[in-house]
Structure 1
């Protein structure tokens, strides 16, 4: 590693953690010192086993992982991460990489692949991309959880109407299908839109798409696609 680092952008969360796994102690400590020099919390491990034994707090994070580890290889560690459903972006580094190895790692979810020796700034740039990706994923998770929370406030009838609106049915069609008056249908649609906090009908339809209500106008299909606490069996 060499070159004068420019640091990480200010938008990176202050509580973000970069985990590093490398069985070369000198490289491990050098990476840790680099990350800490730009204000990033670094947790260092010499093996995959040590990493898996360490509790992972629920904060933005990424993993810098050497491919050629003694014992478990970095690719095996990656497989275990996937198997354990640990959601963390991985930046691979190796002095012995090849195209096939890079492709395999990237297909399994790695966000970057650095060949040793690399510049300090190359590593910081890769870490930045990984942390930004993790923060974006976390924000998407929060948004989806909030959407599901709002959907849970809808009555069964409002959910039925919403599913049909999402699938392109007009008020008169929904009323006929559900044996309701058109005014009652409009009332349920408006109540659903209010509870979902949608800004427009287009926004309402997009929310339904995210929830998986498309092509599920019947009650049972909508529930199977978007099961929530309190849903009828």
Structure 2
């Protein structure tokens, strides 16, 4: 159930809380890294595998909500589970609207924390796999010739081979050859799949030129 490369990062200025959470997570086989402040966290490198952050709301200096905002502004997607010793409903609403996994009030149940962590790690795993797939898709697209790219985009817009041939002034048979090569290089099993790939690559924002 747990990815062996998963890591939970804990930021809390209470050493007793850090020790308690650390023991809990290690007891169920979760790798954990502890930080006493946001500054310590920002000075570290994020793990390579699925990761989530257990973050105290109230910290000396910069707050947990400030860090959530900072990470979002920097496009650093990291699932966050907030913990707080103060039941602050407006604060929790704000955190959840910004994408927090959970907002737990101390003292929280161990199982509630573990459930939230499992969800956070699962979401980060899916995100990482999606990003990996997109990188591979971009690499395949970069292997296409300029003509193959052009025809792939036209096909993705629903244009027929004869229409594409007329638009760019080549034979319909030549269009079909380029289309076949593009599908092979992109590893697309069908034209709809090629269209979905184009959509993922954001190639459909401009309409193709039509005569």
TM tier, smaller: over 0.9
Matches of 1:215 and 1:137 in 2, distance apart? Answer: 23
1:80 corresponds, among 29, 47, 70, to 70
CA RMSD of aligned residues (A): 1.4
1:118 corresponds, among 105, 108, 118, to 108
Q: Higher relative contact order at CA 8 Å, sep ≥6: structure 1 or structure 2?
A: 1
How many residues align structurally? Answer: 209
2:98 corresponds, among 108, 115, 123, to 108
Which structure 1 residue ranges, 4+ long, deviate > 4 Å from structure 2? none
Match of 2:44 in 1: 54
Is structure 2 residue 15 aligned with structure 1 residue 25?
yes
User: How big is the shift at 1:89?
Assistant: 0.8
Q: Normalization by structure 2: what TM-score?
A: 0.94
User: How big is the shift at 1:217?
Assistant: 4.7
Change (3 A) 1:215 1:60: closer
User: How big is the shift at 1:108?
Assistant: 2.3
Matches of 1:189 and 1:83 in 2, distance apart? Answer: 40
Q: Normalization by structure 1: what TM-score?
A: 0.85
Matches of 1:18 and 1:187 in 2, distance apart? Answer: 50
5+ residue gaps, structure 2, are none
Q: For 1:71, what is the secondary structure of its paired residue?
A: coil
Q: Is the 8 A contact 2:25 2:32 kept in 1?
A: yes
5+ residue gaps, structure 1, are 1-9, 220-233
